[in-house]
Amino acid sequence: MSIDTHVSDADEGPLESALHVVPFDVDPPYEPELDDLDTGEFDDRFLDRELSWLRFNQRVLELAENPSTPLLERARFLAIFTSNLDEFFMVRVAGLKRRIAAGVAVRSASGLMPKEVLQQIWAEASVLMARHAGVFREQLIPALAAEDIQLVRWEDLDRDEQRECKKIFKERVFPVLTPLAVDPAHPFPYISGLSLNLAVLVANPKTGKEHFARVKVPQIFSRFVPLGNQRFVPLEDVIGEHLKRLFPGMDVKAVHTFRVTRNEDLEVEEDDAENLLKALEKELLRRRFGPPVRLEVEETIDERVLNLLVSELGVREEEVVRLPGPLDLRGLHDIADLDRADLRFDTFLPSTHRLLAPVESASPVDIFKAVGRSDVLLHHPYDSFSTSVQRFIEQAAADPHVLAIKQTLYRTSGDSPIIDALVDAAEAGKQVLVIVEIKARFDEQANIRWARKLEQAGCHVVYGIVGLKTHCKLAMVVREEPDGIKRYTHIGTGNYNPKTARMYEDFGLLTTDEAIGEDIAHLFNNLSGWSRNARYDQIMVAPDSVRSGLIERIRAEVAHHQAGRPARVRIKANSVVDEAVIDELYRASRAGVPVDLLIRGICSVRPGVPGLSETIRVRSVLGRFLEHSRIFWFENGGEPEAYLGSADMMHRNLDRRVEVLVKLPDVDLVAEVGSVLDLAFDPGTAAWTLGRDGAWTAVEQTGDAPLVSMHDVLVKARRKR
């Protein structure tokens, strides 16, 4: 279960030219079409994207606050909130600071200057961080204790537990610790980003002179030390109580924990694959030394120690966050993983899609025969990834009739069976083309490793088009069959990652549709060669046609509505920020077209504004699975059509990435995704609604029937099937 890792979806700086390092993250000002939206009446029609993201993380926090959320899942949501906010500061806040330092005073679409956005971020984030700490101390710890799971501090331990901690420290922790003193011979040490540290004041008992030292809390050990009987103590407490062993002969005067968040975004462009690899590896080293953007300290910290940290780290006073300990609650993932099924979401094992499930034999279904009979719309995690997409690639690698496999890889797991299957296919003599996006934020190192492994196995590895990230999720198998060559294609909304596919909600289409196969074949040629075909029949491809294609279809709904035919727009996405698309939705709303948006994260649309967006509804669903799919559904005069794919409505997706949306080729598939949207917008489904002021409000129960979880409904439906 996860909601994190998604600030990595944040916009990146524009890729302007080869061999150019992008100095800051800034989007070009939006220039609206000259119509009645540009009269000044609706200058504030866009919500700020950064503040919208903070309110997404607030919804994550509300899941942790909700007593109806299973207790260990509440702990997990607190951990997710922490990692989400860490990444937000590492990328988005760092980008704003770079922009301000560079003097790039570009007003955002929301009308705010960078300094104003940063001020509001700190105001809201500070409240959220304090609220997060309060939930942990005042709600979670007592609730866990009531279930005999105790998170305690050193002073709560009995003698036997203290002796056990002393043994753990002596045998395991002490050998890996390195105290770093600060004096004229020892400069202030480098503090790595997101590491937990102890600031220690020691004094010479003979002279009384005080000295500062830093001790890094090792990340190789559990954040919370298990003491038996489901009792845990923070690792820094164990270290702090045994500092005499690190500083023999000195008096330990004070110990305080602190944590630094640094700018860890990458700023690199490429001119060719080999230079890109080298540049990225250099940047990955630089990332460790990015400037600080936040300093978290315990609220009881000695002012002298704090002043030293602020001075040596170069942080501003407003970038210091005082919190009650313990800091860094990412370690609550370990608590959430405890073997207490009664305190977690009901166990759910994805099932094989009905069209891919064996009927009588225990042997796996022949994927090619099954897809040849009927298109298959997969809905993960309800439909198993391993028995569908993974098996598709594995069978292709082993099938002697398969001539070629072509695939994009953006993020995958560390022990990916997809990578292994591609290696097997290449070693078996098949033509294997892999488009590896090694600039996938925070996965760069892993992707470099996989790229080289694939190259060594004989795969053709390319890195897409200069200046664009390849974010689309595509796989194509070319197979020789009795009636000729046939293409089998998979187009998805999520990464080829078997691990995240068990937690992320995504759609994928397996098809032999000839028009789709022809389009995808052309696109792979564009990505690997010099072809520049930008015309496709069944797919939209960014940066060429996703924005314009969606705008064209939104305008078609307006025409249907004006002609008295059924008209409606429904979009499901992670984020909607692009001003051109939003303005088109406003125009559709002003014409009377109903517009429903299901947005997990950032939304710059301001719904319900009289004269502008009265027919626009915006909902958000968060829960046990991470809503990740992108769906674009149009009523189309009574003959609905739908597209799914990899693109969110953000500048980087539409202008600086290769993205693909595919038109679903069958009315039954359109109805299937439509039913998911119906459930999401049902008044009885638990969700949040967005107000015109940018605030999100949880849907309240009406009548006697309790609200239902969208995820639970879909899990139960799969179990029945």
Give the pair of three-digit tokens for residue 686.
């638990």
Instruction: Name the 3-class secondary structure at 550.
Output: helix
Residue 359 burial (CB < 10 Å; 0-12/13-18/19+)? exposed
- What residues in the chain have per-residue pLDDT under 70? 1-36, 38-40, 184-185, 265-289, 360-361, 413-414, 439-444, 464, 530-534
Cα separation, 671 vs 315, whole angstroms:
54
CA atoms within 13 A on the CB side of 29: 8
* Cis status, amide bond into 640, omega within 30 of 0: no
* Cis status, amide bond into 381, omega within 30 of 0: yes
**Residues in the chain, how many?**
721
β 569-573/630-634 pair status: antiparallel
Q: What are phi and psi of 416, to 5 degrees?
A: -65, 120
β 224-228/210-216 pair status: unpaired
Query: Among all chains, which residue has been given the structure tokens 């800051």?
Result: 24
Between helix 273-287 and helix 444-456 the angle, nearest 10°, is 150
Smallest Cα–Cα separation from 510: which of 557, 541, 474, 485?
Answer: 474
**Does the predicted model carry a pTM greater than 0.85?**
yes
Smallest Cα–Cα separation from 276: which of 36, 91, 121, 448?
Answer: 448
Residues 6 or more apart whose CB falls under 8 angstroms from that of 255 comprise 198, 199, 200, 201, 240, 243
Smallest Cα–Cα separation from 570: which of 613, 533, 599, 528?
Answer: 599
* pLDDT tens profile 469-482: 899 999 999 999 99
Cα separation, 163 vs 154, whole angstroms:
12
Catalytic status, residue 490? no
* Helix H or strand E segment including 377: strand 376-380
Cα separation, 447 vs 444, whole angstroms:
5
Say what the pLDDT of residue 706 is: 92
Smallest Cα–Cα separation from 501: which of 638, 648, 386, 377?
Answer: 386
Amino acid at 26: V
Choose the catalytic residue: 256, 333, 380, 471: 471
Say what the pLDDT of residue 2 is: 41
* pLDDT tens profile 621-658: 999 999 999 999 999 999 999 999 999 999 999 999 99
Nearest-10 Cα torsion for 76, 82, 84, 89: 180
